[in-house]
């Protein structure tokens, strides 16, 4: 795969969440890092989300994986879609990383599809931003503007819209990319058999966030405050709920959002990686062994599918707060430069000049990360 060619500042200013765009040769000289055969193999795995959407004999069908055979479901014009590829294929993670001008915690997954000639999933809307990279073959993309579309469900698992007026109507070839903001109708029809890679983004709604925040408070045995009313005075009607009392309830809830638990939950929530495949080492590394590995300058490789973020550091902070796959790790701010290099490189080679100066906290954290299979040691 090649490097993404995009003017990121211009893209964010004029297109991101605003309007669709075709980026011709976003990946110049693009070659696919996988094919439909490997994709079919992944679609046979229990833990991998996959679907086949077909249109045959004037009727839409949706079959969900895992598949043990394809002949009966791959009828007529069909598309095989496989999700979460960044967890299984390092190249899919690398493709996602090419879009690092958008925060990692906004990214959802890499989905790949294989379509036979004439196939597509029909005109529809998505609630999320997506970049769709054209792999082998070619596909005609039509994208329109948001409107009050009536949704139709030609199959219980398929939501489509009837028609829309395209503002983009172009055929994409290998390495071309179409960016589609949320709520923009689109329709992709394979001109010949083709592969597509969708880099999708996350945008939780308030209900999902509140739900997840409450689960976090419960999981962590958070001792919430109770409603109190020491100033209670006599009122004429006992069932009256006064405005200041309504406000007291609202404030009680706001206080949970304003508590430090909010940051803990948010970091956990945004880096949660339920589909990450853990491959812990046969035996745990001790901090002494990790110290030795750092001194020996081995390479540390980030496993595909690792999600991480760090909170913005202020001058007064004594520690750097990071979350990696849902867990909190604090680091001395003095280690910040190395932590950023470690977290943001696919392969990290400790800096020779400073390899004996890593803090015990750094070594402790790195040991935990190795023992969870988040990073692995390069074996020669």
H helices present in the chain, as ranges: 8-14, 36-42, 90-97, 206-219, 243-258, 261-271, 287-295, 336-344, 360-371
Q: How many residues bind ligand SIN (CB under 6 A)?
A: 11
Q: How many residues bind Co ion (CB under 5 A)?
A: 1
- Contact flag: residue 91 with Co ion (CB under 5 A): no
Q: Hey, what are 279's tokens? A: 């491959």
Which residue number, 20 or 350, has a Cβ lying nearer to ligand SIN? 20
Figure out which of the listed residues 126, 170, 334, 351 binds ligand SIN, where binding follows CB under 6 A.
126
Question: Quick one: what does residue 52 bind among ligand SIN, Co ion, none, with the CB cut-off 5 to 8 Å set by partner type?
Answer: none
- Contact flag: residue 79 with ligand SIN (CB under 6 A): yes
- Contact flag: residue 198 with ligand SIN (CB under 6 A): yes
Give the residue among 175, 171, 214 at the shortest CA–CA distance from 189. 171
- Contact flag: residue 196 with ligand SIN (CB under 6 A): yes
CB atoms within 10 A of CB 315: 5
Which residue number, 93 or 113, has a Cβ lying nearer to ligand SIN? 113
- Contact flag: residue 126 with Co ion (CB under 5 A): yes
- Contact flag: residue 324 with ligand SIN (CB under 6 A): no
DSSP code, position 378: P
Which residue number, 50 or 367, has a Cβ lying nearer to ligand SIN? 50
Which residue number, 67 or 285, has a Cβ lying nearer to ligand SIN? 67
Which strand (E) or helix (H) includes residue 114? strand 107-115
Concatenating the DSSP letter of every residue in 346-373 gives SEE---GGGTT---HHHHHHHHHHHHTT
What are the two backbone dihedrals, phi and then psi, of residue 259, each rounded to the nearest 5 degrees? Answer: -80, 160
SS3 85: helix
Concatenating the DSSP letter of every residue in 266-280 gives HHHHHH--TT-----
Question: Quick one: what does residue 79 bind among Co ion, ligand SIN, none, with the CB cut-off 5 to 8 Å set by partner type?
Answer: ligand SIN
Figure out which of the listed residues 186, 269, 302, 310 binds ligand SIN, where binding follows CB under 6 A.
186
- Contact flag: residue 113 with ligand SIN (CB under 6 A): yes
What is the Cβ-side half-sphere exposure of residue 154, based on CA atoms within 13 angstroms? 16
Question: Quick one: what does residue 198 bind among ligand SIN, Co ion, none, with the CB cut-off 5 to 8 Å set by partner type?
Answer: ligand SIN
CA–CA dist 75, 64 (Å, integer) = 14
Which residue number, 120 or 305, has a Cβ lying nearer to Co ion? 120
127 with 183: CB under 8 angstroms? yes
Contacting ligand SIN within 349-368 (CB under 6 A): none
Question: Quick one: what does residue 113 bind among ligand SIN, Co ion, none, with the CB cut-off 5 to 8 Å set by partner type?
Answer: ligand SIN
Which residue number, 126 or 170, has a Cβ lying nearer to ligand SIN? 126
Question: Quick one: what does residue 269 bind among ligand SIN, Co ion, none, with the CB cut-off 5 to 8 Å set by partner type?
Answer: none
Q: Count of residues for the chain? A: 380
Stretch of 82-90, 113-121, 242-250, 257-265 lying at the interface with ligand SIN (CB under 6 A): 113-121
- Shortest distance in whole angstroms from residue 130 CB to ligand SIN: 6
Figure out which of the listed residues 135, 174, 188, 350 binds ligand SIN, where binding follows CB under 6 A.
188
Give the residue among 343, 333, 328, 337 at the shortest CA–CA distance from 313. 333
Give the residue among 75, 29, 81, 8 at the shortest CA–CA distance from 50. 81
Q: Which residues lie near Co ion (CB under 5 A)?
A: 126
Q: Which residues lie near ligand SIN (CB under 6 A)?
A: 79, 81, 113, 115, 121, 126, 132, 186, 188, 196, 198
């Amino acid at each position: 795969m090649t490097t993404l060619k995009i003017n990121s500042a211009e893209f964010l200013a004029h297109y991101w969440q605003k309007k669709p765009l075709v980026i011709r040769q976003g990946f110049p000289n693009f070659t696919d890092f996988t094919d439909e055969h490997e994709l079919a193999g992944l679609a046979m795995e229990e833990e991998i989300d996959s679907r086949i959407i077909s249109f045959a004999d004037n009727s839409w069908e949706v079959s969900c994986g895992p598949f043990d055979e394809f002949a009966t479901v791959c009828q007529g014009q069909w598309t095989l879609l496989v999700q979460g590829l960044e967890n299984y294929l390092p190249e899919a993670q690398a493709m996602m990383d090419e879009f690092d001008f958008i925060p990692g915690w906004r990214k959802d997954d890499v989905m790949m599809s294989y379509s036979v000639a004439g196939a597509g999933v029909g005109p529809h809307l998505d609630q999320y931003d997506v970049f769709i990279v054209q792999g082998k073959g070619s596909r005609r993309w039509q994208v329109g503007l948001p409107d009050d579309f009536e949704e139709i469900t030609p199959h219980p698992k398929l939501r489509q819209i009837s028609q829309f007026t395209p503002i983009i109507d172009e055929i994409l070839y290998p390495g071309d990319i179409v960016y589609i903001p949320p709520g923009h109708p689109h329709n992709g029809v394979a001109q010949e058999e083709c592969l597509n890679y969708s880099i999708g983004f996350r945008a939780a709604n308030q209900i999902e966030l509140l739900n997840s925040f409450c689960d976090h408070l419960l999981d962590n045995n958070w001792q919430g405050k109770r409603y109190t009313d020491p100033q209670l005075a006599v009122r004429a009607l006992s069932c009256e709920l006064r405005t200041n009392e309504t406000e007291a309830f609202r404030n009680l809830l706001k206080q949970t959002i304003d508590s430090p638990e909010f940051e803990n939950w948010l970091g956990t929530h945004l880096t949660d990686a339920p589909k990450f495949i853990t491959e812990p080492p046969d035996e745990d590394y001790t901090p002494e062994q990790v110290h030795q590995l750092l001194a020996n300058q081995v390479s540390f490789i980030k496993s595909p599918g690792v999600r991480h973020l760090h909170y913005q550091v202020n001058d007064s902070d004594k520690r750097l707060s990071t979350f990696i796959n849902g867990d909190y790790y604090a680091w001395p701010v003095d280690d910040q430069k190395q932590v950023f290099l470690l977290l943001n490189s696919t392969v990290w080679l400790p800096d020779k000049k400073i390899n004996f100066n890593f803090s015990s906290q750094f070594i402790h954290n790195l040991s935990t990360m190795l023992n969870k299979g988040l990073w692995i040691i390069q074996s020669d």
